[in-house]
Amino acid sequence: MSVRGLHVTRGRTEVFTGLDLHIPRGQITGLLGPSGCGKTTLMRSIVGVQKVAGGDVTVLGEPAGSRALRKRVAYDTQAASVYGDLTIQQNLRYFARLVDAPRTDVDRVIEQVGLADQRDQTIDSLSGGQESRVSLAVAMLGVPELLVLDEPTVGLDPLLRAELWEVFRGLADAGATLIVSSHVMDEALRCDRLVLMRAGRIIADTTPDGLFADTGTTDPDAAFLTLIERDANARAAAEAPHPLTRREAREQAEHAHHADEGSAS
């Protein structure tokens, strides 16, 4: 999966101006960053539903969104995109037909997301966490070679999160490539690679060990804050070569203070 010179505008805001990224096959890549930094737009570009203003996105050797990829790439949107008035089983049966997955897959994915007891309930009667698990189950139908999962574990309890990450690991071990976005930093440790984004730019493309070595901490939140801090300072220095005003100096000091607190916790 490679992105070259990606340029995306949404409304009047420029989300990306020349984004470059390479994601290796057969690994779990975590896409991390504060909300609004462009994670979802990047994922939409990879699955080919985002209108792009320029640049190339190549997925599994084909241009993103091309017909040949529609069975090979699975996408789970951030909001649960399933039919609220259908049961879990009816939803999965419909999507299984669309991606030409065998009917037995329906039972498999229901088991994998731990909803076997609710299979005949309508989505509207489920809790938010259960609903997003159904949406995730849809993405696991068939044998997708690339799974693009937008915050699949948001709002789930730690036990369930751990179980789902084991499922993800199993898919990767079987040869699939996964791109998983999250803003829960401890999930970063479960990924093979980490891509950290901020304000439409990639500020780090590393591994969990690399991230800790680079930032000199073992706390994912603190490491992330350190990188954001570093990036913000570098930008400020590049954009404002004039000496810091008192207010800017004070704000920076406050930021540094917060970051220190983060690493102490």
Binding site for another protein (CB under 8 A): 10-11, 47-52, 65, 67, 70-71, 73-75, 77, 79-86, 90, 94-95, 97-100, 122, 138
Quick one: 230 exposed, middle or buried, by C-beta within 10 A (0-12, 13-18, 19+)?
A: middle
Q: Name the residue nearer to another protein (CB basis): 49 or 116.
A: 49
CB nearer to another protein: give 74 or 204: 74
How are beta strands 28-32 and 13-22 bridged, if at all? unpaired
Q: Cβ of residue 59: shortest distance to another protein, in angstroms?
A: 11
Q: Whose structure tokens read 């800790």?
A: 212
Least distance CB 231 / another protein (angstroms): 27
C-alpha neighbours within 13 Å on the C-beta side of residue 156 = 24
Q: Are 217 and 189 in contact (CB under 8 A)?
A: no
Smallest gap from residue 67 Cβ to another protein (A): 8
79 vs 240 by CB, closer to another protein: 79
Q: Name which of 37 and 147 has its Cβ closer to another protein.
A: 147
CB of 53 to another protein, least distance (A): 10
Residue with structure tokens 């992105």? 3
> Are 144 and 73 within 8 A, CB to CB?
yes
Query: In whole angstroms, how close is the CB of 74 to another protein at the nearest point?
Result: 8
Would you say 152 or 220 has its CB closer to another protein?
152
The encoded tokens of residue 156 equal 């789930």
Start-to-end CA span in the chain (Å): 37
Residue showing tokens 């849809």? 138
Give the residue carrying structure tokens 């490679």: 2
108 SS3 class: helix
Q: How far is the CB of 64 from another protein (least distance, A)?
A: 10
What phi, psi does 115 have (nearest 5°)?
-125, 25
Q: How far is the CB of 139 from another protein (least distance, A)?
A: 9
Closest to another protein by CB, 48 vs 220, is 48
- Between CA 179 and CA 176 the distance in angstroms is 10
Rg, C-alpha atoms of the chain: 20
- Comparison of 62 and 219: residue with beta carbon closer to another protein: 62
